[in-house]
Amino acid sequence: MNGIIMLPNELGAALLILLGAIVLDAIFAILIHVKLGDFEWRKTTQFLITGVLPYVGGIGALAVLAWLVGAFFIEVFFALGAIVALKYSAEIISKIKQLFGLLKK
């Protein structure tokens, strides 16, 4: 049965969670640079192209491949998704601490 974004429920939900983590990480990175006063709008496009879109495209391609091929790639998607989720969770927590001055130097 199709669920979120025309993928099976589990794949679609996992994909949205991972994409949300990637976007949230990018937003916190931008907020940190705004707070530090060294944010440059001109570099935003380059940041999105090199730091965000490759991850979004890779995760999206893997989700579609898992949907099309089936069992093996579904397991690969969820395993890699767990690793990516852990990575971005750590990044987001670190950026929240940095943004609100909770990191000790």
pLDDT tens by residue, 20-30: 999 999 999 99
Q: Where are the domains of the chain?
A: 4-99
Q: Long-range contacts of range 13-18, CB-CB < 8 Å, 24 or more positions apart?
A: 14/63, 14/77, 14/78, 14/81, 15/59, 15/60, 15/63, 17/85, 18/59, 18/81, 18/84, 18/85, 18/88
The reported pTM is: 0.84
pLDDT tens by residue, 66-77: 888 888 888 999
